A and B are shown apart, each in its own frame.
Chain A
């Protein structure tokens, strides 16, 4: 049992399933016996805006927000968005990067350039860096929408939470039909 607080920051773009992933995480950490808090802001953007979700667990958690500079595990669902939150990272974080680029409006319009070298910047910044083709793995599992669960699988392999807590919660969270696909997505993410 961890006796300190673990700070996990998830970032990406509205519509990528970040909030659902963070809700599964919160339930799993509660089941595993921890106090847990999570926070995100939603409302303005139905789709397409920048999204960040803070998840914190440990013996007792007060703030739902991670203090800047204290993120232990950084899960970036989109490459550009990863760069937006560098100030939140601890000195030696674990970084899980989904290999996916979604052009923001300025790039779509040709007025701005998508940043280059995202992987390089992140791998330099990390203690542990993993780059995960979550979309491809989700397609292999049977549904492109399961990319978020692929990333949960990858996240699981960096924590010491029993695997059953994850798989139980994933099965509870999705309709029975979608269960096997999501379990497979989780497995592929874990092995990635």
Chain B
């Protein structure tokens, strides 16, 4: 028999749990640290697994499936839940027939996010239960529990992971998939599913009663458990914080919560009464701590552990043992190694032009946000998905003539389809003098190249309709739509210069596939080289911030007798032959290896 043990990431384990639960429909928009859940689930045959254009659509699709009695999964990163919040809050009222699990993957420390909001608040806010695993085995088990709870209590169930649970790997026992208890089919129940005020008023008290029932259930739920140890210290904890606390103080007594909302109040009260000193160890907000405090219990939490950023074993140990900040090994000051656009990236040229033109660039979420970093330094705002166009519109309306020709919005193709379309429609409708550059690399690059409605391919790799961005913009009423090749710097600059001056809406589509794309024809890939005899040491090529181009300090003169402080060199292993640096060079010093 095949060994049912395997090493899985938290994300892979959630996918496995959904598969074993007999999930029928799963929908998501990619977002770190959640992306691999649907990618892994897509590898199983059976369920319909899709990339939706955004998280709201994903949740609504899952809702439809659950209304039809099928088990459904919606997956998103923490800020994605903001996008899906509208359906979520009323889904809490309607309930469902098939189980519905909403995975929120939070990102404490903001490894790849714009904020570190604590989505446990959503459970209380939307009045739905929330489960939280500590490792991959629990991620799989609690996913299955979540589907059962969803059906048993007629509620969506949120499953919260964090980056450390999603992206850590540990051993998981797998099992065979089961057939869900509810049979899918069309069952009319408009009084429950049509949330007109009269119907919704009837549902709300039922929601409150459900939360009371769930709170009672939490008292005996095996995922909430007490591990008795030394009773001098009692620790209430959940998620990854449990792993850290257990690591540094295994001898203490633990109340480990698998369900973080609603809380098992009697269990907590009884635990607290039997330990000398009570701690809550939790990342980010004092979500559990404040509820424990409201029960009138004395507890230490955020007074001992940080409110911001990730916890780790050392921080938890310092908090629990009240250690003084000891003498830490001082790291020498080292050159930083930030993430950077790939060599040959189609975004690089655009940002070198925007930097040169000194425009105010309203930005968006994607690889191109890295255009903020020097030497490109050409992103001036970045807040949330799709915001770039609204920002440019607001600047135009507030500043009028003063901003004309000085502002441009940049947004990726996937981000534009996620939530930029309505903003562009608004620009047309309210006559904004706004220029939008759609950086169309034909993929959702930042999260690892997922498909979207503009790629012609589904999550499962099947061919499908492909939206035409130029026609879409025109159909919204944009009269001036230009497509440019971002590897042609001069032509692209001419178009941007002309379009930003236009006192009406315009769209520039910068079209070239992501350099990491495996499907599409990209730039040559043949590395260029610097002719050291011709290099004048002017550093123009370095303004691109390409990792393949380096500066060699070396005072002297080139073959033309021009004085220089150093020279440029190209790393042939990194260079993808995009030729941007050759276009920047006024001395013709950068050439193809074949002499061209």
Residues of A within 8 A of B (CB): 13-14, 23, 26-27, 30, 35-50, 61-69, 80-81, 83-84, 86-87, 89, 103-110, 112-115
Contacts and interface: CB of A to CB of B under 8 A. Distances in A.
A65 B164 contact: yes
B298 interface: no
B112 A43 contact: yes
Interface of B: 5, 7, 32-33, 35, 111-112, 135, 163-164, 167-171, 240, 242-244, 246-248, 250, 312-314, 317, 328-329, 331-332, 334-340, 342, 367, 373, 375, 445-448, 516, 539, 542, 545, 547, 549-551, 553, 566
Given A44-B112, A108-B550, A109-B375, A49 B338 contact: yes
B255 to A, nearest CB: 16
Contacts of B338: 45, 49, 105
Given A36-B170, A39-B168, A64-B168, A106 B335 contact: yes
17 contacts: A14-B339, A27-B7, A37-B135, A43-B446, A44-B112, A46-B342, A46-B445, A46-B446, A47-B342, A48-B342, A50-B337, A62-B242, A62-B246, A67-B317, A87-B331, A114-B335, A115-B332
A48 B547 contact: yes
A105 B341 CA distance: 11
B342 A63 contact: no
A89 B329 CA distance: 10
Contacts, number: 156
Contacts of B167: 39-42
Contact of A37 (B169, B342, B375, B549): B169
A62 B247 contact: yes
B312 A38 contact: no
A103 B570 CA distance: 12
Contacts of B516: 46
Chain A residues touching B, majority SS? loop
Contacts of A83: 331-332, 334
Chain B residues touching A, majority SS? loop
Most chain-B CB neighbours within 10 Å: which of A42, A44, A81, A106?
A: A44
A104 B337 CA distance: 5
Given A63-B313, A109-B375, A37 B168 contact: yes
Most chain-A CB neighbours within 10 Å: which of B247, B328, B335?
A: B335
Given A38-B168, A89-B329, 16 more contacts: A37-B168, A37-B169, A43-B33, A43-B446, A44-B339, A46-B367, A46-B516, A67-B247, A67-B248, A68-B314, A80-B337, A83-B334, A87-B331, A108-B550, A110-B542, A112-B335
Nearest to A125: B329
B346 to A, nearest CB: 14
B331 to A, nearest CB: 6
Contacts of A69: 314, 329
